Structure 1
Amino acid sequence: MGKLVLFKTQDLEDLLKIRANESKFGEHIQLLSNSTDIYESLVNLDVAYVIIGIPEDIGIFANYGNRGASSAWKATLKVLLNIQSNTFTNPRKVLILGHLDFSKEMQKIDSYLQSDKKHIEKARKLTEKIDKCVTHLVYQIVRSGKKPIIIGGGHNNAYGNIKGASLAFKKPINAINFDAHSDFRREEGRHSGNGFRYAYSEGFLSNYFMFGLHENYTSDRIFKTLDRFKALKYNTYEELIIRKDKKFKDELERATKHVANQPFGVEIDCDAINFIPSSAMSPSGFSIKKARSFVNYFGKQKNAVYLHICEAAPTHETESIVGKLITHLIIDFMRANSSNYESK
């Protein structure tokens, strides 16, 4: 795991803000001392959740999107480590493993132009390299019996999440995607807009539900593709919130029937949330309350095998907002999912 950089004690101390008469989340998490054998280390560690970061936006660049998602990991750590430790947050079941370091690849992208097709092709080749690293790490975590919580980064990493989990279970898995976009675009080289398409075509993804597609930003070609396959189901934001043709609760149940009967991944694209700084920020999206309810609902499902939060792109001015949002979603997932461990 040459790309894995462990989160160490000194990193924790640099970010932790101790206060008298308070017990912070970061004071009780677990860390790994070495990365020689991640699987063996995790198998023998008494944790339920492994938090990892993928601070890159190469796949977003390769999809002609706006960069900035590489900043979400650090913004999240600053907030997560400093929330309260109590019966609701339960940090003792958490390992903060570290992040995959693609800084050298990011430096190459800095000199690329999206108007240059050759540069786009190179960025898509780099995304393939990222895929391999993400796949291997998620595979090790899931195989060890722990649940990865992955903080991106671009939505290109859905492919590695799905493939890694699928290889660990030795069968295809399902996925639920809370997103304004299907990310099921054609196989034209890897980028943030086709991770699910590649995973499906290669047999790692079985049933796939897209929750809250934006009708104005989903092509007719994509809708026709989705309608052709029974394994692919979706609803739209406009159906749920604007026209109210469908009820949010009913659609949660329909999605559950489609994906939750076997291992499935929970994918959250921050593009879907109203005015959250992201690679494709929208003035019209789900509320934070709806997003948190969604994560809580699917976190409760016993077959939920990972949580992936991606595409948030904080600036210096907005990093606290983004960090708080992602922290809420992480804790909501763990809190909802904890009963699956407590009942064992």
Structure 2
Amino acid sequence: MDRFKIYSQSDIDQLVNGRYGETKLGERVQTYSDSSANTLVSTTELAKSKARFVLLGIPEDIGIRANLGIAGATTAWQPALKALMNIQSNHFLRGNEILVLGHFEIDEPDSSSVNALREKVAKIDDLVYPIIKAIVAAGKTPIVIGGGHNNCYPILKGTSLAKRQAIDVLNLDAHADLRTMEGRHSGNGFTYAFANNYLGNYFMYGLHQNYNNEAIMSQIGSNPKLTAVFFDDILKGADEKKLLSGMKASAGLEIDLDCIENVLSSASSPTGFSVNDIRKLILTCDKQFAYLHIAEGASMLLDGQESKSTAKLIAYLISDFIKTQKVNLKA
């Protein structure tokens, strides 16, 4: 049965590699205070925590398979959490800024047909958005490790409902994910978010000309709410300044790991941003974001490819984000 598993401190302790004379983030992070909770998350209880950032995982690849992609995104959450929990706690990042909430446990549908997978994604939407809504309503910033990029839709829905407004998004991605409303999958989350008025202005940075169809190109060219900078143009000198200046407050930050070259994901690419390009963008950005969503990464794909570095990369991106957002809050 689909559910949300709330973590206790003992769940975190099992991930920490302790060392005498050192303190790791996992020894400083907070967990949900209501020990009687099973799967229900209360805005009131979350608001009691002094942590500003709430970390959770959506380890599923049903949305990716519903978009005819390669399975494996289920494998990112646990290794990434372990990598993050073993970062050193120091004056740059203490760890008590983070509440580790838990992860979704999602059953496979009875059928592996595309239609069954897409129907299941719609059920995942309904499972995810109330948790995001509770976090945002408590005044916290969700940090979500996926999982397929289909989850941008329930994250946007939950954030929008909590803030009672449409949410702008900056998406670092090789793909626009604006495919048609043919049933829910990882390639049309932003389409559904637009259709239901959860998405305001949509800013895309790093799209690949080779992997966005003509219908999507036409949408970008005709809809003033869509602004894109293609990676092909970044190679010729284009940058993100125009995008960042156009975003309203409370924008969401989406990072699809397929935009970074040679990172294991459902649509890995030999060309794209370097890891340090993305780190620099996060570390130098002066925007306050409503949430961070890291999607499509994998430690192992169904076709046998493996990478131990994906988990550590996700940990770097999350720690960069928290450090920068802490500074921006004080500015």
TM-score band by shorter chain is over 0.9
* Residue 115 of structure 1: aligned partner: none
1:285 corresponds to 2:272: yes
1:74 corresponds to 2:74: no
* Residue 226 of structure 1: aligned partner: 220
Cα distance in structure 2, aligned partners of 1:262 and 1:50: 19
The letter of the residue matching 1:247 is: A
SS at match of 1:87: coil
* Residue 312 of structure 2: aligned partner: 324
* Residue 14 of structure 1: aligned partner: 14
Q: Deviations over 1:177-209 (max 9, x none)?
A: 000000011111000000001101111101001
1:334 corresponds to 2:322: yes
In the TM superposition, what are the counterparts of 1:126-137 in structure 2 within 5 Å?
A: 126-137=120-131
Cα distance in structure 1, aligned partners of 2:166 and 2:142: 17
Cα distance in structure 2, aligned partners of 1:321 and 1:287: 14
The letter of the residue matching 1:120 is: V
Q: 2:292 is matched with which residue: 268, 293, 307?
A: 307
Q: Deviations over 1:265-318 (max 9, x none)?
A: 0000000001000000001111000111222244x313x100000100112984
Distance 1:274 1:71, change over 3 A: same
CA contact (8 A) 1:6 1:34 kept: no
* Residue 167 of structure 2: aligned partner: 173
* Residue 257 of structure 2: aligned partner: 270
The structural deviation recorded for 1:320 is 2.9
Scaled by the length of structure 2, what TM-score is found?
A: 0.94
The letter of the residue matching 2:246 is: H
The structural deviation recorded for 1:340 is 3.9
The structural deviation recorded for 1:319 is 4.7
CA contact (8 A) 2:179 2:188 kept: yes
1:3 corresponds to 2:3: yes
Distance 1:80 1:317, change over 3 A: farther
Cα distance in structure 2, aligned partners of 1:213 and 1:85: 36
Cα distance in structure 2, aligned partners of 1:55 and 1:337: 25
Distance 1:317 1:220, change over 3 A: closer
* Residue 188 of structure 1: aligned partner: 182
**Structure 2 gap segments, 5+ residues each:** none
* Residue 94 of structure 1: aligned partner: 98
SS at match of 2:93: coil
Cα distance in structure 2, aligned partners of 1:306 and 1:170: 15
The letter of the residue matching 2:152 is: A
* Residue 25 of structure 1: aligned partner: 25
Scaled by the length of structure 1, what TM-score is found?
A: 0.90
The structural deviation recorded for 1:342 is 4.0
**For this pair of structures, how many residues does the alignment match?**
324
The structural deviation recorded for 1:34 is 4.2
* Residue 247 of structure 1: aligned partner: 238
Cα distance in structure 1, aligned partners of 2:190 and 2:284: 22
The structural deviation recorded for 1:232 is 0.3
The letter of the residue matching 1:295 is: I
The letter of the residue matching 1:285 is: G
CA contact (8 A) 1:177 1:269 kept: yes
* Residue 54 of structure 1: aligned partner: 58
CA contact (8 A) 1:75 1:319 kept: no
CA contact (8 A) 1:72 1:319 kept: no
1:63 corresponds to 2:50: no
Q: 1:212 is matched with which residue: 206, 211, 219?
A: 206
The letter of the residue matching 2:15 is: L
The structural deviation recorded for 1:143 is 0.6
* Residue 142 of structure 1: aligned partner: 136
The letter of the residue matching 2:218 is: K
Distance 1:184 1:322, change over 3 A: same
**Structure 1 gap segments, 5+ residues each:** 113-118
The letter of the residue matching 2:74 is: S
CA contact (8 A) 2:13 2:27 kept: no
Higher helix share goes to which structure? 1
CA contact (8 A) 2:4 2:102 kept: yes
SS at match of 2:142: strand
1:295 corresponds to 2:282: yes
